[in-house]
Structure 1
Amino acid sequence: MRFSLSSTGLQEWNGNVLAVGLPKGDVDSTATALERRFAGITEILKQQEFKGKPSDQLVITPLSEGPQRLVVLGLGDADGIDADSLRGAAARAAKASIGCDGTLGLQLPWTGTADADAEAARISAEAVRLCLYTDQRFRKESDPRRSPDALELIDLDPAAISGFAAVNATCAGVELARELVAAPPNVVTPAALADTAAGIAGDHGLELKVLERSDCEARGMGAFLAVSQGSDLPPKFIHLIYRPEGEVKHRIALVGKGLTFDSGGYNLKVGAAQIDMMKFDMGGSAAVLGAMRSIAELKPSGVEVHMVVASCENMVNGSAVHPGDIVTAANGMTIEINNTDAEGRLTLADALLYACEQKPDAVVDLATLTGACVIALGDEMAGLWSNNDGLAKSLDAAAQMGGEGLWRMPLRNSYKDGLKSLLADMKNTGPRPGGSITAALFLKEFVAQDTAWAHIDIAGPVWSDKGKGVNPAGATGYGVRTLVNWVLAQS
């Protein structure tokens, strides 16, 4: 999508769709400016009882001259307009523009300072592109939906153009993650994830290593391989590397859970578990692959990024792992599997050990790990656990910048008692209360003690049934913007 700043103001702007934001309490003055361009608009706003509330929206089409469509958006209280308000307004403008092609012009109450306006430009551009995304890969005939292919922001500081620099690359990563999560499990298999990584490596000059089953056996990855042994599809352990030109000042690792389908194993998912939706159990791997696609294009300096995904299916056959089996991870730790549906943490155990072998300064893992996190935080927030306050704060700032909800959760060591096993070093699940905390504590056992680590449970926001904000219904691509923003902040 093309982004630009308009060289003309509201009165002269000429494109296909014009969207204007009106704050509550300032409707009359802004409407007066609109009246000079569109005679009669003030009376229409009065008739519609337009007060500038966030729920207020007026679409007028066709117009006698100028743009094909005029969209007037309520923004709420003027002193309460923040990044989320701008993001929401831009998203509403994008949705209201569907049906028109060409250029969408957007005027919102910008701050008038260069840095803040650059941030507003980034937020608005991301929101518009992500809102206009549509996935029609699996339809016999595509829907010939018209939508703008260009965005112009009106009355913005010229220096704000810098805000567009990373938008298309970041959004391309989000869209890749959405496509991976949305695709059915007969399309996105462990081999398909490895192929996706190969495509990114080939297109952008990254390094790629793919460990096959025999390679993982040689490394003693018994936890990961135990999950895969019930599937006819071979597991793939994927290591994708971005190396910057020049000096490496920071080395980080991104680890994503890669269960391309999770039946639950012999602890079969039933009832509310929605087994048909377990294609999204590779949402963590989709997020890190999407982030790597963006990072590869943006080429941040000074930061080396290692992406690790242990990918497989969790299926049921005569070879599948039993409840009660004891397996051994790559570090020699033994794990009693008291629930085969707590498989993601087993794959992540060996993935985290491998990631720490790369000697990173920090490791961040993303996983659709627990239903308990969804119960705690709902479907708009991911949970964050970390052994390092500085890392947690930087990830929170990156998530806020991207408009992705993130909430730090406790990593209380006393809860680890729930993982004690009579026979093995530990069990893979603890008691039901605090289930997302014990899951994080399990993962922590496989992280080097001197390594900063964060675990992000994205089970809630990975998918949206109805769509909200910049996310359409379906896969959201959650986590890509957070990771890209965080990596760029390290450069």
Structure 2
Amino acid sequence: MATPQVTIIESMNAALAGDFDAVILIGDANAEIPEPFSGAIERAGQVDKRVGKQPLLLTTDVAGGRLIFAPTGPLLRDFDDVRSFTDAAHAAAAIARDAGALKPVLIPFGIPDDVRYTQAASACFFGFCQALHEPLEGREARGEDVLEPIKEVGLVATDVSAKWLQATEAGRRVARDLAGTEPERMAPKKFAEYCKQAFANTDVKVTVIDDTQQLEHEYPLLYAVGRASVQVERHRPCVIRLEYYGDHAEQTLFMAGKGIVYDTGGADLKVGGHMAGMSRDKGGAAAVAGFVKSVAEMKPQHLNVVAEIGAVRNSIGAEAFVADDIIVSHSGKRVRIGNTDAEGRLVLADLLSHLRTRQEQHDYPNPVFYSVATLTGHAALAKGPYSALVPNGPAKLTKVAERLFEVGEQFGDMSEISWSRREDYDIIRSRTSADDVLSSNNGSSATTKRGHQFPMAFLTIAGGLQDHGSDSAKPLPYVHVDIAGSGVEGGDWQHGKPTAAPVLCFSATYLHK
């Protein structure tokens, strides 16, 4: 699970004196081109009108003769952002690999003196690595060295930590592997095994709960989702707990990750081709594991992280749970099932309840709760390629979501905030004395008003967090993160490469200095 080793170089001259075999020059073609590249770019532009408009491989007399000029396009329009550098580096990476480069150096230039571009150099590195990542199954079948030949990369930058870049990319790699791998290779217990390997010889404690009787008793909603899979041993559900404790912790993050390794929709079966790509319904769990991997690499002393991942297959069969079932959650709430294809929130509710209970028992410092999930088509429709952040009252007061938003803007792992409203609680309110809360309506989330906001209301109630609102004695900030729109490139859930969102945003918020 190696990532390209990055070397930070503080000047372009030092980079050109190194043993790099390709230069990737990234910036606005209308800015001043740095020497000694301006002449080669000008000559190439005289015979190829594509120069300065798209990334191209040019010949030069430095760095193995390879110069890849990757223009960002304009940078100072109102709607421009740091992803211009990410995208340019992403496009250039494939050219460098295909050209046979093994040790390129990234040289961003002409970075505007604008708050939007303070992390432009880091954005180049992450875009470069995103492009080079190949699927786990492909690496296992064809060889990692064959598919990912670039093992080292230089980056010309100042005030950038190579350790943090490396740790963050290690987490993003874990997240892409877990999210993108097919449902048999990453069945629940294999998901757990991957985590054990990823955290071997680190300070992260890994606990796997896979006893079906224990799951049925302690995670009743999660178990209901996976009930039809229990008869197939390799598909049986499990909970993966990841724990990291800093020696001088000032803050504690509790994270719940939705790990539906395959979502058939259950008894409310996905039809019309909509089942394809549902092996990626574990993207939230993948992101949580990925962030914890970054934590393991950075070893922050100021932070505790306690995460629970529900790795479950939502199968169909005689044992499947159905709409109208009433299931008592870990928090003691009687949950009426509205639609079995709204299974992720059931898994998350039990995980959140366990995490809440742990906080109540141990009183860890400055707790913040997160759930991360590929939860609703509505989030993709409403937010496009951005993660949707839905904070509760205490999180709103402490501006948790706003901080994630601002950091994401700087690093290119972006989000938008959606506020929780009273209408959300009305959607999931009990209609009879038989139940306490409704899991969902029975329509598509994409065509339901407030389709990505109201699940947070359900999670608050079913997870037991409604007793820790702004008006309580012990408020607990909580943000639900829906990555259904941001989790894969281009919104293609069957073929698109996982983006590892929001690992970079979390790492930049809690681990970057």
The 1:377–1:243 alpha-carbon spacing in structure 2 relative to 1, beyond 3 Å, is: same
The 1:392–1:140 alpha-carbon spacing in structure 2 relative to 1, beyond 3 Å, is: closer
Asked if the contact 2:264/2:278 (under 8 Å) is kept, the reply is yes
Aligned residue identity for 1:329: S
Deviation for aligned residue 1:6? 6.2
Matches within 5 A, 1:90-105: 90-99=89-98, 100-105=100-105
Deviations 1:194-237 (A, max 9, x none): 22333344320322333333223443x32222111111333212
Cα distance in structure 2, aligned partners of 1:58 and 1:210: 48
TM-score normalised over the length of structure 1: 0.86
Deviations 1:157-186 (A, max 9, x none): 4xx3x4322111211111111111221111
Correspondence for 1:87 = 86
Deviation for aligned residue 1:305? 0.4
- Name which of 368, 371, 384 aligns with 1:362: 368
Matches within 5 A, 1:73-222: 73-77=70-74, 79=76, 83-99=82-98, 100-109=100-109, 119-135=119-135, 137-138=137-138, 140-142=141-143, 144-145=146-147, 147-154=149-156, 156-157=157-158, 160=159, 162-211=160-209, 212-219=211-218, 221-222=219-220
Query: Aligned to 2:459, what secondary structure does the other structure show?
Result: helix
- Name which of 424, 429, 434 aligns with 2:440: 429
The 1:141–1:234 alpha-carbon spacing in structure 2 relative to 1, beyond 3 Å, is: closer
Deviation for aligned residue 1:23? 2.6
- Name which of 6, 11, 26 aligns with 1:2: 6
- Name which of 468, 477, 483 aligns with 1:458: 483
Cα distance in structure 2, aligned partners of 1:124 and 1:44: 24
Asked if the contact 1:190/1:313 (under 8 Å) is kept, the reply is yes
Query: Aligned to 1:462, what secondary structure does the other structure show?
Result: coil
The 1:140–1:414 alpha-carbon spacing in structure 2 relative to 1, beyond 3 Å, is: closer
Aligned residue identity for 1:235: P
Correspondence for 2:460 = 444
Query: Aligned to 2:455, what secondary structure does the other structure show?
Result: helix
Cα distance in structure 1, aligned partners of 2:270 and 2:173: 29
Correspondence for 2:386 = 381
Aligned residue identity for 2:189: A
Asked if the contact 2:118/2:410 (under 8 Å) is kept, the reply is no
Correspondence for 1:339 = 339
Matches within 5 A, 1:44-83: 44-49=44-49, 52=52, 55-61=53-59, 63=60, 67-77=64-74, 79=76, 83=82
Matches within 5 A, 1:277-288: 277-288=277-288
Deviations 1:263-309 (A, max 9, x none): 11110001152x13111111111111111111111111111100111
Is residue 506 of structure 2 the alignment partner of residue 483 of structure 1?
yes
Correspondence for 1:261 = 262
Asked if the contact 2:132/2:148 (under 8 Å) is kept, the reply is no
The 1:370–1:44 alpha-carbon spacing in structure 2 relative to 1, beyond 3 Å, is: same
Cα distance in structure 2, aligned partners of 1:86 and 1:362: 32
Asked if the contact 1:110/1:120 (under 8 Å) is kept, the reply is no
The 1:313–1:73 alpha-carbon spacing in structure 2 relative to 1, beyond 3 Å, is: closer
Correspondence for 1:408 = 417
Identity over aligned residues, as a percent? Answer: 23
- Name which of 400, 413, 420 aligns with 1:391: 400
The 1:371–1:196 alpha-carbon spacing in structure 2 relative to 1, beyond 3 Å, is: same
Query: Aligned to 1:305, what secondary structure does the other structure show?
Result: strand
Correspondence for 1:252 = 253
Query: Aligned to 2:348, what secondary structure does the other structure show?
Result: helix
Deviation for aligned residue 1:241? 0.3
Cα distance in structure 1, aligned partners of 2:330 and 2:289: 24
Cα distance in structure 2, aligned partners of 1:78 and 1:280: 33
Query: Aligned to 2:28, what secondary structure does the other structure show?
Result: strand
Deviation for aligned residue 1:333? 0.8
Aligned residue identity for 1:84: R
Aligned residue identity for 1:335: V
The 1:70–1:341 alpha-carbon spacing in structure 2 relative to 1, beyond 3 Å, is: same
The 1:33–1:466 alpha-carbon spacing in structure 2 relative to 1, beyond 3 Å, is: farther
Correspondence for 2:243 = 241
Deviation for aligned residue 1:64? 6.4
List runs of 5+ in structure 1 lacking aligned partners: none
Deviations 1:11-38 (A, max 9, x none): 9556321222453443xx52775355x4
Deviation for aligned residue 1:332? 1.4
Cα distance in structure 1, aligned partners of 2:388 and 2:271: 25
Aligned residue identity for 2:223: L
Correspondence for 1:319 = 319
Cα distance in structure 1, aligned partners of 2:12 and 2:290: 36
Correspondence for 1:304 = 304
Query: How many equivalent pairs are there?
Result: 470
Aligned residue identity for 2:64: P
Cα distance in structure 1, aligned partners of 2:412 and 2:107: 20
Cα distance in structure 2, aligned partners of 1:78 and 1:364: 33
Asked if the contact 1:90/1:127 (under 8 Å) is kept, the reply is yes
Cα distance in structure 2, aligned partners of 1:57 and 1:392: 35
- Name which of 3, 20, 34 aligns with 2:25: 20
Query: Aligned to 1:266, what secondary structure does the other structure show?
Result: coil
Query: Aligned to 1:128, what secondary structure does the other structure show?
Result: helix
Asked if the contact 2:176/2:500 (under 8 Å) is kept, the reply is yes
Q: Which runs of 4+ in 1 moved over 4 A?
A: 10-14, 63-66, 78-82, 110-113, 115-118
Asked if the contact 2:96/2:104 (under 8 Å) is kept, the reply is yes
Cα distance in structure 1, aligned partners of 2:345 and 2:413: 23
Cα distance in structure 1, aligned partners of 2:347 and 2:131: 33
Deviation for aligned residue 1:136? 5.7
